[in-house]
Structure 1
Amino acid sequence: MDFLFDVQKQWESIIYGASLKRIGAALLILLLALLLRKIFSKVIIVLLRKFTQKTKSTFDDSTVEALEKPVQLAFIIIGLQIASQVLLLPPEIGVFVHRVIRSLVLYTLFWSAYRATDVFTAIFEKRALLTNDKFDDMLISFLSKGAKAVIIILGAITIAQVWFTEIAGVLTGLGLGGLAFALAAQDTAKNLFGSVTIMLDRPFNIGDWVQTPSVEGTIEEIGFRSTKVRTSAQAVVTIPNSVMSNEAITNWSKMGKRRINFQLKVSYQTTAEQLQECVKSLRTILEEHPEVHPETILVNFERFGDNSLDILVYFFTNTTNWQKFLEVQEDVNFKIMALLEELGIFVALPSRSVYIENAKAEVPKEA
């Protein structure tokens, strides 16, 4: 309460002690700063945008867009600085106002750096589009978010030093509070190291279709803390990188070919000649198909099943694209149906035969 009373007395001394000329001059300076800010927004920025639109590069356009708002704030800060000097503030109030202005200056600088990060990120992203490797896309996103996090942390510490000159001593003196903070930050540190592990190992890239014990879908974004996966239901699942880096990951996009494996079950009414012709013709269909990988094609009469004669069909498609894979599988299935109709072979259906034995019951003779 004493502090508030002292501050009130100081401000009263400013208001009543300062001459009306100084107060009027300070207000005039603030109005001039607002006017210059308005001119900068409506005139200078418009002229700069017209100039940058005539150039082929988009770097200058993005730079003007990024620095527009921080420069507008700079006009206000300059006005406050000059107005405070005109008022000849008492030492106690002067120190407080000086710290506020210094904090605003630092905030403007770090804010400009934060917005400039988006400019450089856009430039590198355009260059990354010219390459086929998706690793650079992932690296740019990771570094961009990392740079922003560093700017925010450094900005917060720097501004804190304006108000706490011995910031290192304050942090050291936190004691148990610092320990609690460190324990709370464990997950953040784990996610950070998980991000580094993903970047170094490169188990997947943006756009890859992956499967883990937690989720299956397409990698949409690899961030500083987590990875976003879009599932087949178009839902986005966010997984911490500490979890993602420790799970078994199956990257289906890295496949060179896709497997098709099934048993063709035909009826027991099929003769040996029909079965041999079916196996031979089916093998020929797969060998001549342009979308079937020629290395591994297995078509064999495998076994006598409970209700059918089982033919093993095992092969791979050249494509790994899901839609194309389904089209190849469908085409092969239609060719198999046509072959079975041509040979007069029927697909076996699950069935059960029941045999009933008719036994004559002996009737005992009467005495």
Structure 2
Amino acid sequence: MLFIIPDLSAFQNQPQPRDEDLLANPRRAVHTFLHWQQSGHKNPDFVIKTMKLSDAGEAQKLQLASELLKVLDARGLLIDYDQIPANANYTDSLSGLQQYILFSSLPEVYLVKSDQNQWVFSEATINRIPELYDDTFSGYVTLITDNLPNWAHNEWLGIEIWQYIAVFIWLLTGLILMKVFGFILDNYVKRLAQKTKFTWDDDLINSIEKPAAFIFLMIFFLLTYSNLQFSVNISYYLSAILEIVVSVGVVWLLYNLADVFSQYLSVLTSKTETQLDDQLVPLIRKTLRFFVVLMGVIAILQNNGYNVASLIAGLGIGGLAVALAARETLANFFGSVTILLDRPFKMGDWIKVGDVEGTVEEVGFRSTRVRTFYNSLVSVPNSNLANTDIDNLGLRQYRRLKTVLNLTYSTTPEQMEAFVEGIKAIVKANKHFRQDVYEVHFNSFGAHSLDVLVYVFFDVPDWSTELQQRHNFFLEVLKLAKEVGVEFAFPTQTLHMDSFYKDEPRKAGEERSEEELASAVYQFGPDGEKKSAEGTRIFKDGEEIDFGAGK
């Protein structure tokens, strides 16, 4: 419960109160207990009136009041007088009794209305004071502080000299204990984990090592800071900071455990045939991280007195504005859902989206990360992926090779036929080619070459294997070209000097008579002896070589 620093100015300027006014209501009783124990206002006679229900003597009553005040100060329990009822007939709404609990975090300290219509500390509270004092302060620290020399109680900047020394020892002790904790974790727990046949326990120890040591240190500080006996203001802020830091340490620990859980899921999903669960693991990891951080922030706010419910309600009022401002984020989130459901690609696939081409590394809530072939990492918003054509090159069953081989014009028809049929034979002899569909033909008369079209498909699993098979295929083609005696053409220009001055120009081709020309046309016609619509016939040792149908 949050309390602010009490404002005593309204009471300090007033004259000495009457005895019947000191305990008239809960607020006056608390003021009497606190105000008359402050330096410059000490009045033991007024203070012991709040301990009226005790059977002890006046000295013991004053000692009990002093110990209770030290407990409240050391624990940083500030009092806001405005929150204390000033009604003399106040009744607790839960119990229905005339009692008032000062702190929800310390319910054993409360006021009751006595038979004399005075508000005083309850008998149960008075009996609990020695136990509360022992729980708040170490007996060794109390023994030391009670026997300190006078100079140790001198103040500098509102803090006594012995407290500066105590802070140094406090910090040093905490760091030493943290080192001991880490040593035990490294030399005993971690070694035991390494002896097991599992790997997840090693990852678990590595992930919790630093946050666990940090939490151990902060819990030590939180449990022992009251021994420093600072003022209530310093103790209040110190306890609040330590509680927040401990919560942050727990969030850090759970954040790392989310990564360990995701790694364990990755091992499990790697054993399944489907790829959907592999894509879900990064999303689960990010969801767990976000959930841990969100719940940690809510817990920290709740523990420090903030009304989280009203905060969430306030966010709901501005939800429309937030939704409009975050529409791109929401679009990317739903885009990631669409990708998971539709599964146009999976991690490791080679895709092309617009100008981006590469291998999918990770599918996140906002974007998908693609590793390009020049090793850069491109983040593509999921909303774009959901509304853009995706070319998944990684899902190709076959990979096409289309090329044109240029042969010189010196190639004879027989060489051309042998070269084309030889390429077909290379395709049929390689198991990495698709055997039911391929095309190899003398395709055109080019400007500087005779062009052979090669149109084949590789039956390979990935791009690396495709490049390897391209390499092997082109080497075989080079060897074939050497065997059949053909040469590959390249763009050239030849200048023929047909004639010089007074010389007759060179005759191109050979002269034929009209009868010879007509006979040649007939010989290549349907009834001619030189027709060869099925291709050139090549003989070896008097027998025709059968290259097959080509498919």
Post-superposition CA distance 1:322-343 (Å, at most 9, x none): 3332332233333333444444
In 1, are the aligned partners of 2:218 and 2:245 still within 8 Å (CA)? no
Match of 2:426 among 259, 282, 285: 285
Amino acid in the other structure paired with 2:222: L
1:140 is aligned to 2:281: yes
Seen in structure 2, the aligned counterparts of structure 1 residues 172 and 316 have a Cα distance that, compared at 3 Å, is: same
Counterpart in 1 of 2:218?
A: 76
1:256 is aligned to 2:397: yes
User: Following TM superposition, by how much is the alpha carbon of 1:296 offset from its aligned partner in structure 2, in angstroms?
Assistant: 0.8
Separation of aligned partners in 2, 1:265 and 1:116: 63
TM-score (norm 2): 0.53
TM-score (norm 1): 0.76
Amino acid in the other structure paired with 1:106: S
User: Following TM superposition, by how much is the alpha carbon of 1:317 offset from its aligned partner in structure 2, in angstroms?
Assistant: 1.6
Counterpart in 2 of 1:116?
A: 257
1:61 is aligned to 2:218: no
User: Following TM superposition, by how much is the alpha carbon of 1:155 offset from its aligned partner in structure 2, in angstroms?
Assistant: 1.6
Counterpart in 1 of 2:307?
A: 166
User: Following TM superposition, by how much is the alpha carbon of 1:185 offset from its aligned partner in structure 2, in angstroms?
Assistant: 3.0
Counterpart in 1 of 2:139?
A: none
Seen in structure 2, the aligned counterparts of structure 1 residues 299 and 31 have a Cα distance that, compared at 3 Å, is: closer
1:229 is aligned to 2:370: yes
Separation of aligned partners in 1, 2:386 and 2:297: 30
Seen in structure 2, the aligned counterparts of structure 1 residues 301 and 178 have a Cα distance that, compared at 3 Å, is: same
In 1, are the aligned partners of 2:368 and 2:381 still within 8 Å (CA)? yes
Seen in structure 2, the aligned counterparts of structure 1 residues 330 and 4 have a Cα distance that, compared at 3 Å, is: same
Match of 1:127 among 268, 275, 283: 268
Counterpart in 1 of 2:181?
A: 40
Seen in structure 2, the aligned counterparts of structure 1 residues 303 and 242 have a Cα distance that, compared at 3 Å, is: same
Separation of aligned partners in 1, 2:423 and 2:221: 86
Question: Aligned-residue CA RMSD in angstroms?
Answer: 4.2
User: Following TM superposition, by how much is the alpha carbon of 1:298 offset from its aligned partner in structure 2, in angstroms?
Assistant: 0.9
Amino acid in the other structure paired with 2:438: I
Counterpart in 1 of 2:340?
A: 199
Q: How many equivalent pairs are there?
A: 351
Larger Rg: 2
Separation of aligned partners in 2, 1:193 and 1:244: 11
Counterpart in 1 of 2:361?
A: 220
Separation of aligned partners in 2, 1:357 and 1:190: 74
Post-superposition CA distance 1:2-45 (Å, at most 9, x none): x9997xxx9x9899x98955997986877765554443233365
Which runs of 5 or more structure 2 residues have no equivalent in the other structure? Answer: 8-33, 40-68, 75-141, 149-159, 500-551
Separation of aligned partners in 2, 1:110 and 1:289: 59
Seen in structure 2, the aligned counterparts of structure 1 residues 164 and 240 have a Cα distance that, compared at 3 Å, is: farther
% same residue: 33
Separation of aligned partners in 2, 1:277 and 1:63: 67
Separation of aligned partners in 1, 2:418 and 2:279: 53
Which runs of 5 or more structure 1 residues have no equivalent in the other structure? Answer: 359-367
Counterpart in 1 of 2:327?
A: 186
Post-superposition CA distance 1:82-125 (Å, at most 9, x none): 534884964x7766555444433432332221121122222223
Post-superposition CA distance 1:175-212 (Å, at most 9, x none): 99766544443333233222222222222222222222
User: Of the two structures, which has the highest relative contact order with CA contacts closer than 8 Å and spacing of 6 or more?
Assistant: 1
Seen in structure 2, the aligned counterparts of structure 1 residues 353 and 192 have a Cα distance that, compared at 3 Å, is: same
Post-superposition CA distance 1:48-107 (Å, at most 9, x none): 2233333333343333333344443244335424534884964x7766555444433432
| Secondary structure of residue in 2 paired with 1:282 | helix
| Secondary structure of residue in 2 paired with 1:292 | coil
Give the structure with the higher percent helix: 1
User: Following TM superposition, by how much is the alpha carbon of 1:315 offset from its aligned partner in structure 2, in angstroms?
Assistant: 0.9
Seen in structure 2, the aligned counterparts of structure 1 residues 140 and 29 have a Cα distance that, compared at 3 Å, is: same
In 1, are the aligned partners of 2:399 and 2:460 still within 8 Å (CA)? yes
User: Following TM superposition, by how much is the alpha carbon of 1:174 offset from its aligned partner in structure 2, in angstroms?
Assistant: 6.5
User: Following TM superposition, by how much is the alpha carbon of 1:147 offset from its aligned partner in structure 2, in angstroms?
Assistant: 0.9
